[in-house]
Structure 1
Protein backbone atom coordinates (compact mmCIF):
# COMPACT_ATOMS: atom_id res chain seq x y z
CA UNK A 1 0.00 0.00 0.00
CA UNK A 2 1.24 3.49 -0.86
CA UNK A 3 0.72 4.79 2.70
CA UNK A 4 1.80 1.59 4.44
CA UNK A 5 0.13 -0.19 7.32
CA UNK A 6 -0.82 1.23 10.71
CA UNK A 7 -0.04 -1.10 13.59
CA UNK A 8 -0.13 -0.05 17.26
CA UNK A 9 -0.10 3.60 16.10
CA UNK A 10 3.11 3.03 14.08
CA UNK A 11 2.96 3.52 10.32
CA UNK A 12 4.98 0.79 8.59
CA UNK A 13 5.94 1.41 4.97
CA UNK A 14 7.55 -1.40 3.01
CA UNK A 15 5.37 -4.45 3.68
CA UNK A 16 4.37 -6.04 0.37
CA UNK A 17 0.72 -5.68 -0.59
CA UNK A 18 -0.90 -9.06 -1.41
CA UNK A 19 -1.52 -7.76 -4.95
CA UNK A 20 2.29 -7.83 -5.40
CA UNK A 21 2.58 -11.51 -4.50
CA UNK A 22 3.87 -13.69 -7.35
CA UNK A 23 2.17 -16.85 -8.58
CA UNK A 24 4.35 -19.60 -7.14
CA UNK A 25 4.67 -22.86 -9.10
CA UNK A 26 6.97 -25.88 -9.13
CA UNK A 27 9.41 -23.74 -11.10
CA UNK A 28 9.67 -21.18 -8.26
CA UNK A 29 11.54 -22.60 -5.26
CA UNK A 30 11.29 -20.32 -2.26
CA UNK A 31 12.09 -19.79 1.38
CA UNK A 32 10.75 -17.78 4.30
CA UNK A 33 12.76 -16.52 7.24
CA UNK A 34 12.66 -14.07 10.13
CA UNK A 35 15.15 -11.39 11.12
CA UNK A 36 15.04 -10.26 14.73
CA UNK A 37 17.07 -7.31 15.91
CA UNK A 38 17.41 -4.67 18.56
CA UNK A 39 18.14 -1.21 17.23
CA UNK A 40 19.99 1.23 19.48
CA UNK A 41 19.30 4.91 18.90
CA UNK A 42 22.62 6.65 18.04
CA UNK A 43 24.12 8.57 20.99
CA UNK A 44 23.83 11.93 19.22
CA UNK A 45 20.03 11.49 18.96
CA UNK A 46 17.57 12.29 21.81
CA UNK A 47 15.57 9.62 23.64
CA UNK A 48 12.41 8.19 22.07
CA UNK A 49 8.98 8.98 23.46
CA UNK A 50 6.91 7.43 20.62
CA UNK A 51 7.78 5.63 17.39
CA UNK A 52 5.87 7.33 14.58
CA UNK A 53 6.82 5.34 11.50
CA UNK A 54 9.17 2.76 10.06
CA UNK A 55 10.34 2.82 6.44
CA UNK A 56 11.93 -0.46 5.43
CA UNK A 57 13.15 -2.26 2.32
CA UNK A 58 14.95 -5.54 1.71
CA UNK A 59 17.62 -5.67 -1.00
CA UNK A 60 19.38 -8.75 -2.38
CA UNK A 61 23.08 -7.90 -2.72
CA UNK A 62 24.45 -11.22 -3.98
CA UNK A 63 23.60 -14.86 -4.65
CA UNK A 64 25.64 -17.96 -5.34
CA UNK A 65 24.79 -21.57 -6.14
CA UNK A 66 26.41 -24.36 -4.16
CA UNK A 67 26.26 -28.15 -4.43
CA UNK A 68 24.70 -30.26 -1.68
CA UNK A 69 24.52 -34.09 -1.42
CA UNK A 70 20.93 -34.04 -2.78
CA UNK A 71 20.78 -30.99 -5.00
CA UNK A 72 21.71 -27.35 -5.06
CA UNK A 73 21.29 -24.45 -2.67
CA UNK A 74 21.04 -20.82 -3.72
CA UNK A 75 22.74 -18.81 -1.00
CA UNK A 76 21.23 -15.33 -0.60
CA UNK A 77 22.89 -12.30 0.93
CA UNK A 78 21.13 -9.01 1.39
CA UNK A 79 20.54 -5.92 3.50
CA UNK A 80 17.58 -4.53 5.39
CA UNK A 81 17.56 -0.76 4.99
CA UNK A 82 15.35 1.02 7.48
CA UNK A 83 14.54 4.41 8.92
CA UNK A 84 12.82 4.86 12.27
CA UNK A 85 10.97 8.18 12.62
CA UNK A 86 10.09 9.10 16.19
CA UNK A 87 8.92 11.84 18.53
CA UNK A 88 11.66 12.72 20.99
CA UNK A 89 11.18 12.61 24.75
CA UNK A 90 11.94 16.32 25.15
CA UNK A 91 9.65 19.21 26.10
CA UNK A 92 9.31 20.45 22.52
CA UNK A 93 8.55 16.90 21.29
CA UNK A 94 10.65 17.35 18.18
CA UNK A 95 10.62 14.67 15.45
CA UNK A 96 13.83 12.81 14.60
CA UNK A 97 14.89 9.83 12.52
CA UNK A 98 17.54 7.14 12.82
CA UNK A 99 18.87 5.06 9.95
CA UNK A 100 19.93 1.42 10.23
CA UNK A 101 21.21 -1.30 7.93
CA UNK A 102 21.16 -4.97 8.88
CA UNK A 103 22.73 -7.72 6.73
CA UNK A 104 20.97 -11.04 6.28
CA UNK A 105 21.86 -14.42 4.83
CA UNK A 106 19.61 -17.34 3.94
CA UNK A 107 19.23 -19.97 1.22
CA UNK A 108 16.71 -21.50 -1.18
CA UNK A 109 16.89 -25.28 -1.40
CA UNK A 110 16.59 -26.77 -4.91
CA UNK A 111 16.23 -30.56 -4.57
CA UNK A 112 16.95 -32.58 -7.68
CA UNK A 113 15.71 -36.00 -8.75
CA UNK A 114 19.21 -37.44 -9.13
CA UNK A 115 19.30 -40.98 -10.55
CA UNK A 116 20.89 -43.61 -8.34
CA UNK A 117 24.62 -43.88 -8.89
CA UNK A 118 25.09 -40.30 -10.11
CA UNK A 119 26.46 -37.34 -8.20
CA UNK A 120 24.71 -34.00 -8.48
CA UNK A 121 27.41 -32.50 -10.76
CA UNK A 122 27.30 -35.61 -12.99
CA UNK A 123 23.50 -35.42 -13.20
CA UNK A 124 23.60 -31.77 -14.24
CA UNK A 125 26.26 -32.58 -16.83
CA UNK A 126 23.99 -35.30 -18.26
CA UNK A 127 21.39 -32.57 -18.87
CA UNK A 128 23.96 -30.33 -20.49
CA UNK A 129 23.89 -27.96 -17.52
CA UNK A 130 26.37 -26.57 -15.03
CA UNK A 131 25.70 -25.20 -11.57
CA UNK A 132 25.55 -21.71 -13.10
CA UNK A 133 22.65 -22.78 -15.35
CA UNK A 134 20.32 -23.66 -12.46
CA UNK A 135 18.44 -20.34 -12.40
CA UNK A 136 16.73 -18.53 -15.28
CA UNK A 137 15.45 -15.63 -13.17
CA UNK A 138 16.72 -13.41 -10.36
CA UNK A 139 16.22 -14.01 -6.66
CA UNK A 140 13.46 -11.69 -5.46
CA UNK A 141 12.53 -10.83 -1.89
CA UNK A 142 9.31 -9.50 -0.32
CA UNK A 143 8.66 -8.21 3.17
CA UNK A 144 5.64 -10.14 4.46
CA UNK A 145 5.35 -8.65 7.93
CA UNK A 146 7.05 -6.38 10.45
CA UNK A 147 6.66 -6.15 14.22
CA UNK A 148 8.17 -3.13 15.98
CA UNK A 149 8.06 -1.92 19.58
CA UNK A 150 9.92 0.38 21.96
CA UNK A 151 11.76 -1.51 24.71
CA UNK A 152 13.17 1.59 26.41
CA UNK A 153 13.87 5.20 25.38
CA UNK A 154 16.97 4.10 23.44
CA UNK A 155 16.13 0.59 22.21
CA UNK A 156 13.75 -0.54 19.46
CA UNK A 157 12.81 -4.21 19.05
CA UNK A 158 11.94 -5.39 15.57
CA UNK A 159 11.10 -8.64 13.77
CA UNK A 160 10.84 -8.84 9.97
CA UNK A 161 9.40 -11.80 8.00
CA UNK A 162 10.89 -12.15 4.51
CA UNK A 163 9.85 -14.29 1.54
CA UNK A 164 12.44 -15.01 -1.16
CA UNK A 165 11.87 -16.85 -4.43
CA UNK A 166 13.44 -17.48 -7.80
CA UNK A 167 12.83 -19.33 -11.08
CA UNK A 168 14.74 -22.46 -12.05
CA UNK A 169 15.72 -23.80 -15.45
CA UNK A 170 12.89 -25.82 -17.05
CA UNK A 171 15.49 -28.36 -18.22
CA UNK A 172 15.57 -29.58 -14.61
CA UNK A 173 12.01 -30.91 -15.00
CA UNK A 174 12.18 -34.33 -16.65
CA UNK A 175 9.38 -35.16 -19.06
CA UNK A 176 6.96 -37.90 -18.00
CA UNK A 177 5.08 -37.76 -21.27
CA UNK A 178 5.05 -36.08 -24.67
CA UNK A 179 2.31 -34.64 -26.88
CA UNK A 180 2.79 -32.92 -30.22
CA UNK A 181 -0.14 -32.21 -32.54
CA UNK A 182 -1.90 -29.64 -34.72
CA UNK A 183 -5.60 -29.86 -33.91
CA UNK A 184 -8.58 -28.20 -35.55
CA UNK A 185 -12.36 -28.23 -35.39
CA UNK A 186 -15.52 -26.17 -35.15
CA UNK A 187 -16.27 -24.32 -31.92
CA UNK A 188 -19.07 -22.01 -30.80
CA UNK A 189 -18.15 -18.45 -29.87
CA UNK A 190 -21.28 -16.58 -28.77
CA UNK A 191 -23.81 -17.49 -31.45
CA UNK A 192 -21.19 -18.15 -34.14
CA UNK A 193 -19.78 -21.51 -35.20
CA UNK A 194 -16.20 -20.93 -36.31
CA UNK A 195 -13.02 -22.88 -36.96
CA UNK A 196 -10.33 -23.12 -34.30
CA UNK A 197 -6.79 -24.41 -34.75
CA UNK A 198 -4.62 -25.41 -31.80
CA UNK A 199 -0.95 -26.25 -32.07
CA UNK A 200 0.52 -28.07 -29.08
CA UNK A 201 4.13 -29.07 -28.50
CA UNK A 202 4.87 -30.47 -25.04
CA UNK A 203 8.13 -32.32 -24.41
CA UNK A 204 8.67 -33.22 -28.06
CA UNK A 205 11.03 -36.18 -28.18
CA UNK A 206 10.80 -36.26 -24.36
CA UNK A 207 12.99 -33.15 -24.22
CA UNK A 208 11.79 -30.55 -21.70
CA UNK A 209 12.46 -27.60 -24.01
CA UNK A 210 10.69 -25.89 -26.87
CA UNK A 211 7.26 -26.27 -25.28
CA UNK A 212 4.45 -24.12 -26.65
CA UNK A 213 0.72 -23.68 -27.28
CA UNK A 214 -0.69 -21.66 -30.18
CA UNK A 215 -4.40 -20.93 -30.70
CA UNK A 216 -6.18 -19.24 -33.56
CA UNK A 217 -9.97 -18.84 -33.82
CA UNK A 218 -11.35 -17.37 -37.05
CA UNK A 219 -13.96 -14.98 -35.66
CA UNK A 220 -14.71 -11.54 -37.14
CA UNK A 221 -11.94 -10.30 -34.86
CA UNK A 222 -9.57 -13.30 -34.70
CA UNK A 223 -8.81 -14.68 -31.25
CA UNK A 224 -5.14 -15.62 -30.90
CA UNK A 225 -3.00 -16.96 -28.09
CA UNK A 226 0.70 -17.82 -28.16
CA UNK A 227 2.28 -19.48 -25.13
CA UNK A 228 6.04 -19.93 -25.03
CA UNK A 229 8.15 -22.21 -22.91
CA UNK A 230 8.86 -19.58 -20.26
CA UNK A 231 5.11 -18.96 -19.75
CA UNK A 232 4.27 -22.58 -18.91
CA UNK A 233 4.05 -23.02 -15.15
CA UNK A 234 3.10 -26.67 -14.75
CA UNK A 235 2.94 -29.92 -16.75
CA UNK A 236 1.13 -32.90 -15.23
CA UNK A 237 1.03 -36.31 -16.89
CA UNK A 238 -1.58 -38.84 -15.75
CA UNK A 239 -3.15 -42.05 -16.97
CA UNK A 240 -4.14 -41.04 -20.49
CA UNK A 241 -4.22 -37.35 -19.59
CA UNK A 242 -1.94 -34.37 -19.87
CA UNK A 243 -2.61 -31.06 -18.12
CA UNK A 244 -0.62 -27.94 -19.00
CA UNK A 245 -0.96 -24.73 -16.98
CA UNK A 246 0.41 -21.40 -18.15
CA UNK A 247 0.13 -17.62 -17.97
CA UNK A 248 -0.15 -15.59 -21.16
CA UNK A 249 -1.83 -12.85 -23.14
CA UNK A 250 -4.80 -13.32 -25.45
CA UNK A 251 -5.70 -11.09 -28.39
CA UNK A 252 -9.26 -10.63 -29.64
CA UNK A 253 -11.35 -10.99 -26.47
CA UNK A 254 -12.73 -7.53 -25.52
CA UNK A 255 -11.54 -6.24 -22.16
CA UNK A 256 -9.18 -9.15 -21.58
CA UNK A 257 -5.40 -9.28 -21.93
CA UNK A 258 -3.57 -11.41 -19.37
CA UNK A 259 -5.08 -14.86 -18.83
CA UNK A 260 -4.50 -18.05 -16.93
CA UNK A 261 -4.37 -21.01 -19.30
CA UNK A 262 -5.32 -24.64 -18.64
CA UNK A 263 -5.00 -27.18 -21.45
CA UNK A 264 -6.25 -30.71 -20.77
CA UNK A 265 -5.50 -33.51 -23.23
CA UNK A 266 -7.79 -36.47 -22.42
CA UNK A 267 -7.49 -39.67 -24.43
CA UNK A 268 -10.55 -41.07 -22.65
CA UNK A 269 -12.82 -38.40 -24.13
CA UNK A 270 -10.63 -37.94 -27.23
CA UNK A 271 -10.55 -34.17 -26.66
CA UNK A 272 -8.24 -31.26 -26.03
CA UNK A 273 -9.97 -28.78 -23.72
CA UNK A 274 -8.60 -25.25 -23.48
CA UNK A 275 -9.82 -22.89 -20.75
CA UNK A 276 -8.77 -19.24 -20.39
CA UNK A 277 -9.45 -17.43 -17.11
CA UNK A 278 -9.25 -13.72 -16.36
CA UNK A 279 -6.98 -13.64 -13.27
CA UNK A 280 -8.47 -10.35 -12.06
CA UNK A 281 -12.10 -11.52 -11.94
CA UNK A 282 -11.33 -15.26 -11.81
CA UNK A 283 -13.95 -15.88 -14.50
CA UNK A 284 -13.73 -18.01 -17.63
CA UNK A 285 -13.39 -15.98 -20.82
CA UNK A 286 -12.98 -18.93 -23.19
CA UNK A 287 -13.72 -22.65 -22.98
CA UNK A 288 -13.35 -24.78 -26.13
CA UNK A 289 -12.81 -28.46 -26.91
CA UNK A 290 -11.28 -29.96 -30.06
CA UNK A 291 -11.05 -33.61 -31.14
CA UNK A 292 -7.65 -35.30 -30.90
CA UNK A 293 -8.13 -36.92 -34.32
CA UNK A 294 -5.73 -39.75 -33.56
CA UNK A 295 -3.11 -37.72 -31.69
CA UNK A 296 -1.85 -39.59 -28.64
CA UNK A 297 0.09 -38.91 -25.45
CA UNK A 298 3.41 -40.74 -25.52
CA UNK A 299 5.19 -41.97 -22.39
CA UNK A 300 8.77 -40.92 -21.78
Structure 2
Protein backbone atom coordinates (compact mmCIF):
# COMPACT_ATOMS: atom_id res chain seq x y z
CA UNK A 1 0.00 0.00 0.00
CA UNK A 2 1.01 3.57 -0.57
CA UNK A 3 1.43 6.03 2.20
CA UNK A 4 -1.69 8.17 2.42
CA UNK A 5 -1.42 11.74 1.21
CA UNK A 6 -3.58 14.74 1.93
CA UNK A 7 -4.97 15.58 -1.54
CA UNK A 8 -3.91 19.23 -1.43
CA UNK A 9 -0.52 18.40 -0.01
CA UNK A 10 -0.13 15.69 -2.59
CA UNK A 11 -0.78 18.03 -5.51
CA UNK A 12 1.43 20.72 -3.99
CA UNK A 13 4.24 18.19 -3.57
CA UNK A 14 4.06 17.14 -7.19
CA UNK A 15 3.94 20.69 -8.48
CA UNK A 16 6.95 21.70 -6.42
CA UNK A 17 8.80 18.47 -7.20
CA UNK A 18 8.93 19.50 -10.85
CA UNK A 19 11.29 22.28 -9.77
CA UNK A 20 13.86 19.63 -8.97
CA UNK A 21 13.04 17.42 -11.90
CA UNK A 22 15.36 14.39 -11.94
CA UNK A 23 17.46 14.09 -15.08
CA UNK A 24 19.00 10.65 -14.91
CA UNK A 25 22.66 10.53 -15.86
CA UNK A 26 23.39 14.22 -15.27
CA UNK A 27 25.89 15.38 -12.71
CA UNK A 28 27.28 18.71 -13.87
CA UNK A 29 25.24 21.57 -12.36
CA UNK A 30 25.34 23.93 -15.35
CA UNK A 31 24.65 21.10 -17.75
CA UNK A 32 21.85 19.80 -15.56
CA UNK A 33 20.18 23.21 -15.45
CA UNK A 34 20.16 23.45 -19.23
CA UNK A 35 18.90 19.90 -19.69
CA UNK A 36 16.10 20.41 -17.21
CA UNK A 37 14.46 22.73 -19.74
CA UNK A 38 11.78 20.67 -21.42
CA UNK A 39 12.49 21.94 -24.93
CA UNK A 40 16.17 21.00 -24.75
CA UNK A 41 16.27 17.42 -23.49
CA UNK A 42 13.62 15.17 -24.95
CA UNK A 43 13.20 11.88 -26.77
CA UNK A 44 11.45 13.96 -29.40
CA UNK A 45 14.64 15.84 -30.32
CA UNK A 46 17.35 13.22 -29.92
CA UNK A 47 19.11 14.57 -33.00
CA UNK A 48 19.85 17.74 -31.00
CA UNK A 49 21.50 15.97 -28.06
CA UNK A 50 24.90 16.68 -29.58
CA UNK A 51 24.28 20.40 -29.22
CA UNK A 52 23.54 19.79 -25.53
CA UNK A 53 26.60 17.63 -24.97
CA UNK A 54 29.20 16.81 -27.64
CA UNK A 55 29.88 13.41 -26.05
CA UNK A 56 26.55 12.19 -27.41
CA UNK A 57 28.22 11.82 -30.85
CA UNK A 58 31.20 9.81 -29.58
CA UNK A 59 32.39 6.52 -31.02
CA UNK A 60 31.41 4.31 -28.07
CA UNK A 61 27.76 5.21 -27.74
CA UNK A 62 24.92 3.01 -26.52
CA UNK A 63 22.56 1.28 -27.10
CA UNK A 64 23.60 -1.05 -29.92
CA UNK A 65 22.24 -3.94 -31.94
CA UNK A 66 24.00 -7.03 -30.61
CA UNK A 67 24.80 -9.35 -33.52
CA UNK A 68 25.27 -12.69 -31.80
CA UNK A 69 27.33 -14.08 -34.68
CA UNK A 70 29.90 -11.36 -34.20
CA UNK A 71 30.31 -11.85 -30.47
CA UNK A 72 33.47 -13.35 -29.00
CA UNK A 73 33.26 -16.18 -26.49
CA UNK A 74 34.85 -15.34 -23.18
CA UNK A 75 35.20 -16.88 -19.75
CA UNK A 76 34.79 -14.44 -16.87
CA UNK A 77 34.77 -15.03 -13.12
CA UNK A 78 31.35 -15.71 -11.62
CA UNK A 79 29.37 -12.73 -10.42
CA UNK A 80 29.32 -12.09 -6.70
CA UNK A 81 26.26 -10.21 -5.44
CA UNK A 82 26.32 -8.90 -1.90
CA UNK A 83 23.35 -7.44 0.02
CA UNK A 84 20.88 -7.74 -2.88
CA UNK A 85 18.49 -9.64 -0.62
CA UNK A 86 18.50 -6.97 2.10
CA UNK A 87 15.38 -4.81 2.25
CA UNK A 88 16.08 -1.08 1.88
CA UNK A 89 14.83 1.50 4.35
CA UNK A 90 12.39 2.68 1.71
CA UNK A 91 11.93 2.71 -2.04
CA UNK A 92 11.10 5.77 -4.12
CA UNK A 93 9.36 5.66 -7.49
CA UNK A 94 10.25 8.77 -9.45
CA UNK A 95 8.40 9.84 -12.58
CA UNK A 96 10.42 12.35 -14.57
CA UNK A 97 9.35 14.14 -17.72
CA UNK A 98 10.79 11.34 -19.83
CA UNK A 99 11.85 8.56 -17.47
CA UNK A 100 10.74 6.29 -14.69
CA UNK A 101 13.22 5.45 -11.93
CA UNK A 102 13.19 3.15 -8.90
CA UNK A 103 15.52 4.35 -6.15
CA UNK A 104 15.91 2.17 -3.03
CA UNK A 105 17.36 4.01 -0.03
CA UNK A 106 19.82 2.15 2.19
CA UNK A 107 21.24 3.15 5.54
CA UNK A 108 24.22 0.88 4.95
CA UNK A 109 24.91 -2.54 3.42
CA UNK A 110 24.46 -1.30 -0.14
CA UNK A 111 24.10 -3.98 -2.80
CA UNK A 112 27.49 -4.63 -4.39
CA UNK A 113 28.22 -6.37 -7.71
CA UNK A 114 31.59 -7.89 -8.52
CA UNK A 115 32.86 -10.43 -11.04
CA UNK A 116 32.09 -11.11 -14.66
CA UNK A 117 33.75 -8.32 -16.64
CA UNK A 118 33.85 -6.14 -13.49
CA UNK A 119 37.30 -6.15 -11.94
CA UNK A 120 36.24 -3.74 -9.20
CA UNK A 121 33.17 -3.63 -6.91
CA UNK A 122 30.18 -1.66 -8.20
CA UNK A 123 27.50 -0.28 -5.93
CA UNK A 124 23.87 -0.47 -6.96
CA UNK A 125 22.28 2.97 -7.39
CA UNK A 126 18.94 2.89 -9.24
CA UNK A 127 16.82 1.22 -11.91
CA UNK A 128 15.44 2.87 -15.06
CA UNK A 129 12.83 1.58 -17.51
CA UNK A 130 12.50 1.90 -21.27
CA UNK A 131 9.44 0.93 -23.31
CA UNK A 132 7.53 1.72 -26.48
CA UNK A 133 4.02 2.03 -27.85
CA UNK A 134 3.96 -1.49 -29.32
CA UNK A 135 5.35 -4.91 -28.55
CA UNK A 136 8.01 -4.84 -31.27
CA UNK A 137 9.87 -1.84 -29.88
CA UNK A 138 10.66 -0.27 -26.54
CA UNK A 139 13.95 -1.79 -25.47
CA UNK A 140 17.09 0.20 -26.08
CA UNK A 141 19.25 -2.75 -27.06
CA UNK A 142 18.39 -5.15 -29.84
CA UNK A 143 19.44 -8.78 -30.31
CA UNK A 144 20.08 -9.70 -33.95
CA UNK A 145 17.94 -6.75 -34.99
CA UNK A 146 15.03 -7.72 -32.71
CA UNK A 147 13.66 -5.18 -30.25
CA UNK A 148 11.69 -6.02 -27.12
CA UNK A 149 8.73 -4.23 -25.49
CA UNK A 150 10.60 -3.45 -22.25
CA UNK A 151 14.16 -3.06 -20.99
CA UNK A 152 15.06 -2.63 -17.34
CA UNK A 153 18.51 -1.23 -16.55
CA UNK A 154 20.06 -1.65 -13.11
CA UNK A 155 22.60 1.15 -12.79
CA UNK A 156 25.69 0.68 -10.60
CA UNK A 157 28.70 2.89 -9.97
CA UNK A 158 32.30 2.04 -9.15
CA UNK A 159 32.54 1.76 -5.38
CA UNK A 160 36.05 3.24 -5.45
CA UNK A 161 34.46 6.61 -6.13
CA UNK A 162 32.77 8.64 -3.40
CA UNK A 163 29.47 9.10 -5.23
CA UNK A 164 27.46 8.33 -8.33
CA UNK A 165 28.05 11.89 -9.51
CA UNK A 166 31.81 11.48 -9.30
CA UNK A 167 31.68 8.13 -11.09
CA UNK A 168 29.68 9.54 -14.02
CA UNK A 169 32.73 11.18 -15.55
CA UNK A 170 35.42 8.85 -14.21
CA UNK A 171 37.14 5.87 -15.89
CA UNK A 172 35.18 2.62 -15.51
CA UNK A 173 32.71 4.63 -13.49
CA UNK A 174 29.42 2.94 -14.37
CA UNK A 175 28.17 -0.63 -14.84
CA UNK A 176 24.66 -1.31 -16.09
CA UNK A 177 22.95 -4.70 -15.97
CA UNK A 178 20.19 -4.88 -18.55
CA UNK A 179 17.14 -7.15 -18.62
CA UNK A 180 14.98 -7.58 -21.73
CA UNK A 181 11.31 -8.60 -21.57
CA UNK A 182 8.86 -10.40 -23.83
CA UNK A 183 5.07 -10.55 -23.53
CA UNK A 184 4.01 -13.91 -22.13
CA UNK A 185 0.38 -14.43 -21.15
CA UNK A 186 1.17 -17.84 -19.69
CA UNK A 187 3.13 -16.27 -16.86
CA UNK A 188 1.46 -15.24 -13.61
CA UNK A 189 3.23 -11.88 -13.72
CA UNK A 190 6.34 -10.44 -12.14
CA UNK A 191 6.05 -9.79 -8.39
CA UNK A 192 8.53 -6.90 -8.37
CA UNK A 193 6.82 -5.20 -11.32
CA UNK A 194 3.46 -5.60 -9.61
CA UNK A 195 4.85 -3.95 -6.48
CA UNK A 196 6.31 -0.91 -8.23
CA UNK A 197 3.22 -0.49 -10.40
CA UNK A 198 0.87 -0.01 -7.45
CA UNK A 199 1.28 3.81 -7.48
CA UNK A 200 1.10 4.08 -11.29
CA UNK A 201 -2.54 5.17 -11.33
CA UNK A 202 -1.67 8.05 -9.03
CA UNK A 203 1.49 8.94 -10.96
CA UNK A 204 -0.34 8.86 -14.30
CA UNK A 205 -2.45 11.83 -13.18
CA UNK A 206 0.53 14.20 -12.81
CA UNK A 207 3.34 15.26 -15.18
CA UNK A 208 6.19 14.54 -12.75
CA UNK A 209 6.63 13.47 -9.17
CA UNK A 210 7.83 11.00 -6.62
CA UNK A 211 6.09 8.42 -4.43
CA UNK A 212 7.62 6.68 -1.47
CA UNK A 213 6.42 3.12 -1.04
CA UNK A 214 5.57 1.91 2.43
CA UNK A 215 6.38 -1.69 1.55
CA UNK A 216 10.04 -2.57 1.25
CA UNK A 217 11.28 -5.36 -0.97
CA UNK A 218 14.83 -6.48 -1.77
CA UNK A 219 16.17 -5.22 -5.08
CA UNK A 220 16.98 -8.83 -5.99
CA UNK A 221 13.29 -9.27 -6.90
CA UNK A 222 13.60 -6.66 -9.63
CA UNK A 223 17.18 -7.48 -10.65
CA UNK A 224 17.70 -11.24 -10.38
CA UNK A 225 21.21 -12.66 -10.67
CA UNK A 226 22.76 -13.41 -14.05
CA UNK A 227 24.95 -16.51 -14.09
CA UNK A 228 25.32 -16.94 -17.83
CA UNK A 229 23.63 -16.05 -21.12
CA UNK A 230 24.83 -12.47 -21.19
CA UNK A 231 26.88 -10.25 -23.45
CA UNK A 232 29.13 -7.43 -22.33
CA UNK A 233 30.72 -4.47 -24.08
CA UNK A 234 32.09 -1.00 -23.40
CA UNK A 235 29.62 1.77 -24.14
CA UNK A 236 27.95 4.88 -22.81
CA UNK A 237 25.01 6.25 -20.91
CA UNK A 238 21.96 6.34 -23.16
CA UNK A 239 21.02 9.79 -21.88
CA UNK A 240 23.01 13.05 -21.81
CA UNK A 241 25.81 13.49 -20.90
CA UNK A 242 26.33 10.20 -22.82
CA UNK A 243 29.51 9.46 -20.84
CA UNK A 244 31.53 6.69 -22.50
CA UNK A 245 32.59 4.95 -19.31
CA UNK A 246 29.91 2.28 -19.01
CA UNK A 247 30.43 -1.47 -18.83
CA UNK A 248 27.23 -2.98 -20.20
CA UNK A 249 26.03 -6.44 -19.15
CA UNK A 250 23.00 -7.45 -21.23
CA UNK A 251 21.08 -10.60 -20.39
CA UNK A 252 20.08 -11.90 -23.81
CA UNK A 253 17.53 -14.40 -22.46
CA UNK A 254 14.32 -12.34 -22.09
CA UNK A 255 12.22 -12.35 -18.95
CA UNK A 256 8.42 -12.50 -19.09
CA UNK A 257 5.86 -9.76 -18.58
CA UNK A 258 2.09 -9.91 -19.01
CA UNK A 259 0.23 -7.64 -21.39
CA UNK A 260 -1.53 -6.02 -18.42
CA UNK A 261 1.80 -5.18 -16.76
CA UNK A 262 3.11 -3.80 -20.06
CA UNK A 263 0.05 -1.64 -20.61
CA UNK A 264 0.47 -0.09 -17.17
CA UNK A 265 3.86 1.26 -18.25
CA UNK A 266 2.36 2.68 -21.45
CA UNK A 267 -0.50 4.36 -19.58
CA UNK A 268 1.88 6.04 -17.14
CA UNK A 269 2.52 8.88 -19.60
CA UNK A 270 -0.89 8.81 -21.22
CA UNK A 271 -1.88 12.24 -19.88
CA UNK A 272 -1.37 15.53 -21.75
CA UNK A 273 1.13 15.08 -24.60
CA UNK A 274 2.18 11.72 -23.29
CA UNK A 275 5.39 9.79 -23.68
CA UNK A 276 5.18 7.27 -26.49
CA UNK A 277 8.69 5.88 -26.83
CA UNK A 278 11.29 6.56 -24.13
CA UNK A 279 14.30 4.86 -25.68
CA UNK A 280 17.34 6.07 -27.58
CA UNK A 281 17.81 4.81 -31.16
CA UNK A 282 20.50 2.24 -31.87
CA UNK A 283 24.03 3.59 -32.21
CA UNK A 284 26.89 2.42 -34.42
CA UNK A 285 28.89 -0.49 -33.02
CA UNK A 286 32.10 0.86 -34.61
CA UNK A 287 33.84 -2.53 -34.51
CA UNK A 288 33.70 -2.75 -30.74
CA UNK A 289 34.40 -6.10 -29.14
CA UNK A 290 31.27 -7.73 -27.76
CA UNK A 291 31.88 -10.70 -25.50
CA UNK A 292 29.40 -13.49 -24.83
CA UNK A 293 29.12 -15.82 -21.86
CA UNK A 294 26.99 -18.89 -22.53
User: Given the two structures, how large is their TM-score scaled by the length of structure 1?
Assistant: 0.24
Greater C-alpha Rg: 1
Q: Which has the higher contact order (CA 8 A, sep 6+)?
A: 2
Counting strand residues as a fraction of each chain, which structure ranks higher? 1
User: Given the two structures, how large is their TM-score scaled by the length of structure 2?
Assistant: 0.24
Counting helix residues as a fraction of each chain, which structure ranks higher? 2
